[in-house]
Each structure stands twice: as C-alpha cells, then as structure tokens.
C-alpha cells in the first residue's frame, strides 16, 4: 500500500513546457486545446499602451468582482501612470499581494484549476498570476451524527479552511501545527496533520507522517477513506482511529497529545492513536459533573456488552441450557414460544435481520418518511410477527433492548462493529450453546489484544496496565485528581496543572 511514488508518473505528464515567449493567439490556441475548448476558460486580450496583454482564467473558479476591481481596472488604466508595462512594474503597482511568476505550461494548467488569474504580456518569458479562488461550501451547522445535549453544537464542514479556522480558534496556541500533505495522484487532496508541537509523541507524529508520505493512491474520497488506508490492520473488525465531526472532540484529542488529521472536502477529522475505550468516551462526559460523567461512561460500557451478549444468550439458553433460566420465566417463555415453529436460532436471526433492515431503511430514507419507518417497524411488524407466530414476545423485548443498547455508543463506526459482531455470536450460540458464546467472547478478546492503533496497544490502559489513567479514560473523578494527562498516549509533557494548588483547601470561614 505504501509504495514510494514512482518517478515515471511525473515524467509522463511532462509535455512541451517551455513555450515562452509566444504570440497571444498561439497561447490561446494551446490553452483551448488543453481544456478541450472549454467555454468557461476565458482568454481576454487588451492593448495597454503599445503592448498586447492577455488575461486568462476559468470563469467559475474565480471571484469575478474581485478580479474586476483589483486587477482588470488597474491594468487597463496602467498607461496613465507613465510606467513601462512589465511584470515587475505590475507586481509593484497592482493593489494586490505579490503574485507569482510562472513560466511552465503544466504549472499554469494546474493553477488555472484552483482559481488563479494569469496575466501574460506578449513577448515576455513568464506569466504573472494571482489567486482569486472562490470555493463554494455550506455554512457551519449543528453536528448531526454525534449530537449532544450539552456543549458546543458546531460541526466540521466540507471546507478545509473553515475547519482549520475552527480548530485554530479552539486551540489558540502557537504550538498547534498544521502540516500539509497532498494525497492522491489523480486528484491531489489537501490533508493536514494536526498536533501540538510540545505535547504529541514524536513517534506518533513520525509514524503518521511516514504513512501519509508513503501512501500511493489515485484518490481518497473522504477522511473516512483515508483513515482506512492509514489504519494498522485492514482485516480487523474494530475501527482503529477515532473519526469525529465534532471540533470539540477533535481538539480534546489533540490537546491530550494525540495526532489529528483533517482532509479537504470532508466534514470529519480523525484522531490517532485510539483505544477501544476512546470510542465509548463522549465529550459530554466532561460537560457533565463527574458523577454523572462516570455513570454514563460505565453505562455505555455495560451497554456494549449487553448489546453483544443478550440475543446470543437467549438463543443458547433456549436451545441447550434452558436450566439456567428460573422456572417462572421459563414458563412464560415456553407459553410465548409455543406457537413458534422455528428453532430459537432461526427465530433470533430473523428478528435481528428485520431490525437491521428497519435501521438501514430509516437511515436511507428522507427524515420525514424515516419517522414513519420507526412506527411501521415498531408497531406493525413487531406485533404482527408475534401474532403470526413467527417470533416470541420475549425475543422482541430482547432484540429491542440489544438494539437500544447499541445506540448508546458515541461513535457510529464502533456501533456498526458491535452490530456486526452480534451475528457470528448468535450463530455460535445456536451451534454450541453457552460454550459458543464464551468461545466467541474469547476470540473477540484475543482479537482486541492483538490490535494496535498507530503501533500503540488498543486496550490500554487495561493492557498494558496503567492504573493511574483509569480516571481519565474509563471513568471520571473530580478535577483535582486529574492534574496529569493520560500516560497511555505517551505525551511529551504529562503535567496539566499543579496538583498542590488544586488540592489546596480553605479553612472554615
């Protein structure tokens, strides 16, 4: 995957580069040919004083008001200034920042695309160019996929400049570094490696930098795709970097010494390294008081287990080890299952599949119709399935609880993993009973222990054990106990604030 870029590709693109000096008509012909007679490529010719000048640009990529005011008007009236028309004089006299001079055709072509305006004086050896880009983007909106009750509402947008602006305003420190990378040979995309210079671990930065540099792909579609290219293991089930659309979650990771990535045209950034617990962590835990924060975090953790285990346990208990169910419940389960002709395995998979269908349909449909979907699923299919004798009442409760629990995961990607894990576990439970579940659980544990994120263990602080980090990652404690950063992420400096000052207590009165 991370092959070095080959030199040959660059050579292929080399065409007749040194075309200057050239007649204006000929230049126009060349440009039109390169752009396949694109009508949006504007090539304007003026005569200023005794010289002929061409101004060319792509219409929809530039801000035409600005070009009119800042470039065309002064240019056309240039001869009034009694100056000789040359690139140097233009650079000095146009009310713009110093433009750049370019003499290679391929450079001109690639810069035309990103919204530069070129001036060429006939007979010169180079062109002068100014950047007047116009980039359409939507305005900032509320976070949709990761909504919170408390805390900032803003979310990233598709504009990299806006995203960087948000991040920079959230971390007002000269230590914050945006390192630039271009990813993709077909259509290069701007990528920024974001980290705190005196906080983030050098190895992490270096690893990420190297993976970015050695990535050789034609194009990355989105930050989430780039994330998959950069992850440690492709075969593993679990997401290895933490993707988010919330700037607060992003900067929270960066200020704890992690490394972030922002990608052009993508409304999400991602944070590395991640641990299994960082996916269950929500910034809302911080905005709550610590007792509630701890409660919610543990609740989510239990919900994950619950969601994975409850349906397989139902299948295992009803197929093989029904003796573990207390007698009273066993009677009511028996009554409700009396009409069902299928084995529990088939019954459970059927219902779980219906639920997944509903969920998928709800996600694809427009919001207004989506609400109807929920009602159709919950009331019509649920009740009808029981009355038709397809499933038992108890299983509906079990499946609904497991779905509910899986919705609590703050990370949508991790939630999807949990959804996925359930199915093999249900089948194992149907084949081997409780033993199958324990087998599956052991397999998941081994799977997670083997996993690394950016070369760091996935299950830290549990393994490798860092007991002092428990109150930063697994639960929350009052702030005077969190005077240090989590050691698991190996930041360069671990101290956040003075512990003595935080512990200072006043006497009564």
Q: Which residues bind other proteins (CB under 8 A)?
A: 320-321, 323-327, 432-435, 437-439, 441-443, 445-447, 449-450, 457, 459, 462-465
CB of 351 to other proteins, least distance (A): 23
CB of 425 to other proteins, least distance (A): 14
The side-by-side arrangement of strands in the sheet containing 41-48 is 41-48, 51-58, 116-121, 127-131, 100-102
Do residues 222 and 266 lie in contact, with contact meaning Cβ atoms separated by under 8 Å?
A: yes
Alpha carbon distance 169, 248 (integer Å): 11
Rounded to the nearest 5°, which phi and psi values hold at 115? 90, 35
Alpha carbon distance 495, 501 (integer Å): 13
CB of 140 to other proteins, least distance (A): 42
3-state secondary structure string, 8-63? HHHHHCCCCCCCCCCCHHHHHHHHHHHCCCCCCEEEEEEEECCEEEEEEEEHHHEC
Of the pair 35, 439, the CB lying nearest other proteins is at: 439
Alpha carbon distance 48, 66 (integer Å): 20
Tokens 């704890």 -> residue: 256
Of the pair 237, 441, the CB lying nearest other proteins is at: 441
CB of 314 to other proteins, least distance (A): 13
Alpha carbon distance 91, 100 (integer Å): 9
Helices (H), 365-411: 367-375, 382-387, 393-407
CB of 327 to other proteins, least distance (A): 7
Alpha carbon distance 147, 63 (integer Å): 35
CB of 433 to other proteins, least distance (A): 7
Tell me, what DSSP letter sits at residue 464?
Answer: T
Of the pair 463, 479, the CB lying nearest other proteins is at: 463
Pairing between strand 116-121 and 51-58?
A: antiparallel
CB of 100 to other proteins, least distance (A): 47
Do residues 480 and 502 lie in contact, with contact meaning Cβ atoms separated by under 8 Å?
A: yes
CB of 449 to other proteins, least distance (A): 4
Alpha carbon distance 287, 94 (integer Å): 51
Of the pair 137, 452, the CB lying nearest other proteins is at: 452
CB of 217 to other proteins, least distance (A): 29
Of the pair 287, 439, the CB lying nearest other proteins is at: 439
Of the pair 64, 452, the CB lying nearest other proteins is at: 452
Q: b/e per residue, 387-420, with b = 16+ CB within 10 A?
A: eeebbbbbbbebbeebbebbebbbbebbbebbbe
CB of 448 to other proteins, least distance (A): 8
Of the pair 197, 450, the CB lying nearest other proteins is at: 450
Of the pair 30, 438, the CB lying nearest other proteins is at: 438
Of the pair 317, 395, the CB lying nearest other proteins is at: 317
Of the pair 186, 323, the CB lying nearest other proteins is at: 323
């Amino acid at each position: 995957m991370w092959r070095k870029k080959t030199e040959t590709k660059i050579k292929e693109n080399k065409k007749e580069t040194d075309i200057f000096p050239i007649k204006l008509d000929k230049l126009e012909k060349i440009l039109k040919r390169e752009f396949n007679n694109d009508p949006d490529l504007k090539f304007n010719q003026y005569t200023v004083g005794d010289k002929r000048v061409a101004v060319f640009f792509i219409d929809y990529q530039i801000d035409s008001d600005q070009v009119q005011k800042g470039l065309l008007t002064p240019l056309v009236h240039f001869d009034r200034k009694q100056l000789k028309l040359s690139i140097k004089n233009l650079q000095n006299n146009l009310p713009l920042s110093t433009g750049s001079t370019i003499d290679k055709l391929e450079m001109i072509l690639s810069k035309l695309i990103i919204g530069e305006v070129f001036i060429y004086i006939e007979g010169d050896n180079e062109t002068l160019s100014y950047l007047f880009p116009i980039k359409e983007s939507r305005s900032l909106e509320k976070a949709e996929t990761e909504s919170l009750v408390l805390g900032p509402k803003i979310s990233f947008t598709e504009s990299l400049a806006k995203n960087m602006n948000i991040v920079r305003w959230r971390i007002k420190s000269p230590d914050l570094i945006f390192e630039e990378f271009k990813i993709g040979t077909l259509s290069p995309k701007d990528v920024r490696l974001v980290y705190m210079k005196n906080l983030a671990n050098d190895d992490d930065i270096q690893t990420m930098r190297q993976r970015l540099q050695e990535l050789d792909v034609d194009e990355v579609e989105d930050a989430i795709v780039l994330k998959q290219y950069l992850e440690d293991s492709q075969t593993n089930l679990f997401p290895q970097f933490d993707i988010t659309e919330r700037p607060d979650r992003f900067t929270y990771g960066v200020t704890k010494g992690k490394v972030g990535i922002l990608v052009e045209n993508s409304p999400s950034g991602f944070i590395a390294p991640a641990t299994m617990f960082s996916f269950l962590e929500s910034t809302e835990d911080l905005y709550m008081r610590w007792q509630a924060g701890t409660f919610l975090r543990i609740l989510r953790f239990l919900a994950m287990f619950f969601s994975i285990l409850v349906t397989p346990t139902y299948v295992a208990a009803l197929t093989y080890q029904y003796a573990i169910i207390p007698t009273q419940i066993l009677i009511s389960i028996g009554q409700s299952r009396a009409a069902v002709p299928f084995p529990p395995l088939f019954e459970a998979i059927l219902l779980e599949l219906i639920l997944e269908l509903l969920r998928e349909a709800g996600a694809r449909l427009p919001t207004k119709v989506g609400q109807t979907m929920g009602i159709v699923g919950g009331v019509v299919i649920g009740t009808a399935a029981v009355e038709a004798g397809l499933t038992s009442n108890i299983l509906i409760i079990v499946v609904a609880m497991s779905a509910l629990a899986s919705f609590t995961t703050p990370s949508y990607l991790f939630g999807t993993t949990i959804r996925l894990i359930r199915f093999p576990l249900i089948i194992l439970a149907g084949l081997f009973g409780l033993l199958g579940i324990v087998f599956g659980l052991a397999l998941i544990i081994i799977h997670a222990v083997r996993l690394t994120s950016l070369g760091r263990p996935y299950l830290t602080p549990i393994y490798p054990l860092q007991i002092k980090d428990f109150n930063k990652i697994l639960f929350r404690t009052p702030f005077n106990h969190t005077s240090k950063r989590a050691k698991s992420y190996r930041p360069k400096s671990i101290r956040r604030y003075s512990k003595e000052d935080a512990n200072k207590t006043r006497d009564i009165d």
